[in-house]
Structure 1
Amino acid sequence: MAGAVLVHGLYHRAEHFALVAQGLHAAGAHVVMPELHRGSLRADTAAVQAAVDALDEPPVVLGHSYGGSVITGLRGAAHLVYLAAFVLDAGESAARVGGATRRLRDAIVSAPDDSTFIRRDAAADVFYADGPEDRAAWAVDLLRVQAPGCGRGVPERQSWKHTPSTYVVCTRDRAIDPELQRVLAQRCTSVREWPTGHSPFVVRPELVVDLVLELAPGYTKPNGNDGRHSTAHRR
């Protein structure tokens, strides 16, 4: 079975995917979770490209939020998954496309060095409001300061034009406007809508696990049925 590469968004870390990684490992998948925060979109994309290139077979690559900007610039993925993420066209950046909710804007604090962070008292409400308090607290503890500039980066290529892709709209998202997500989703091969907030990999990791396994080349469910019973709406 091909591997999966999980790409986090701004303020987040690879560790936020821990529950998803556990589910994928249990199903026999090889999982790679590159750490971003490398100073620019170009550097973040290069780090993820290196992870993709190191695998024996083209993987499913999932990008969350800003992670969509990163995976848009990749080569060699078998399938792209945009989870409440930015699907950028030529010349576009996440900052230019916009879509941040008022809740998210109010939660962001700027430091003197132009880095930013999410107010601790607002983070759970913005990112994890649909989950249990203990799980949200764990995720909030992992959040980190974000260096400036990544959101203004423009991908050097648009991989969704050449690679099968699935967009997941998170309909209860309090960080990225679901209506913008639906607009961006039109660029993808297929679309799902989940009744979740911004971070289903924390709150409903089983949804993410099942989707990645369904899309993974060569995956077969344990009962012998192919894991590709899709409810996706094709565009």
Structure 2
Amino acid sequence: MAGAVLVHGLYHRAEHFALVAAGLRAAGVHVVVPELHRGSLGADTAAVQAAVDELDEPPVVLGHSYGGSVVTGLQGAAHLVYVAAFVPDAGESAAGTGGATPRLRNAIVSAPDDSTFIRRDLAADVFYADCPEDRAAWAVDLLRVQAPGCGRGVPERQSWKHTPSTYVVCAQDRAIEPELQRVLARRCTSVREWPTGHSPFVVRPELVVELTLELLRGGATTYRSDGGHSTPHRP
């Protein structure tokens, strides 16, 4: 079985994927979770590309939120998974989509050096509203300051145009508008929709594990977790 590379979003850390990584490793999957925050989209993409290149076989690569911009610029993935993520086309950036909800914009605070952070008193409501209180508190404690400019970066290539991809719409998302997600999902090979908030890897890690294992076994399905059916899309 090939490996999996998990790519976090802005303000997040590799540790936010701990529950998913543990579930995949228990199933015998080699999991790599690169730490981003390298200062630019290009630097973040290079760090993830290095992780992909070190694997023996092309992996399933999952990008969450801003992580979608990162994985869009990669080469050598077997399958791309976009979870409530940006799927930029040529010349597009994550910030340029205008997809942040008012809740998220209200929670972002700018520091004098142009870095930003999420207000602690609002973070759980934006990112982890559907999580149990203790797990949401754990996830909030992991959030970090974000350097300026990453969300405005434009990927050098659009790997979803030639690599199989699955988009996961998070229907209760309070950070990225679900309607925008549904529009971006049309660029992917297949789509599913989960009844979760922005961070299913925290509240429902088993969904992420099951999807990743399915793709690693070669079964890119188009079924939603609620038993419904979604239509495959081709860019």
TM-score (norm 2): 0.95
Aligned to 2:232: 234
Aligned to 2:165: 165
Question: How does 1:95-174 map onto structure 2 within 5 Å?
Answer: 95-174=95-174
Give me the whole-angstrom Cα distance separating, in 1, the residues matched to 2:222 and 2:57: 23
Aligned to 2:80: 80
- Mapped contact 1:107–1:118 kept (Cα < 8 A): yes
Tell me, what secondary structure is at the counterpart of 2:169?
Answer: strand
**Structure 1 position 233, deviation (Å):** 2.6
Give the superposed CA RMSD: 1.0
Give me the whole-angstrom Cα distance separating, in 2, the residues matched to 1:59 and 1:76: 8
Deviation string, structure 1 residues 168-200 (Cα, Å, up to 9, x no partner): 000000000000000000000000000000000
**Structure 1 position 15, deviation (Å):** 0.2
Q: 2:40 is matched by which residue type in structure 1?
A: S
Aligned to 1:203: 203
Q: 2:181 is matched by which residue type in structure 1?
A: Q
Aligned to 2:62: 62
Q: 1:166 is matched by which residue type in structure 2?
A: T
Q: 2:86 is matched by which residue type in structure 1?
A: F
**Structure 1 position 98, deviation (Å):** 1.5
Give me the whole-angstrom Cα distance separating, in 2, the residues matched to 1:122 and 1:192: 28
TM-score (norm 1): 0.95
- Mapped contact 1:78–1:217 kept (Cα < 8 A): no
- Identity among equivalent pairs (%): 86
Q: Which runs of 5+ in 1 are unaligned?
A: 219-226
Tell me, what secondary structure is at the counterpart of 1:25?
Answer: helix
Deviation string, structure 1 residues 95-125 (Cα, Å, up to 9, x no partner): 1111000000000000000000000000000
Aligned to 1:37: 37
Give me the whole-angstrom Cα distance separating, in 2, the residues matched to 1:2 and 1:69: 23
Give me the whole-angstrom Cα distance separating, in 1, the residues matched to 2:37 and 2:60: 22
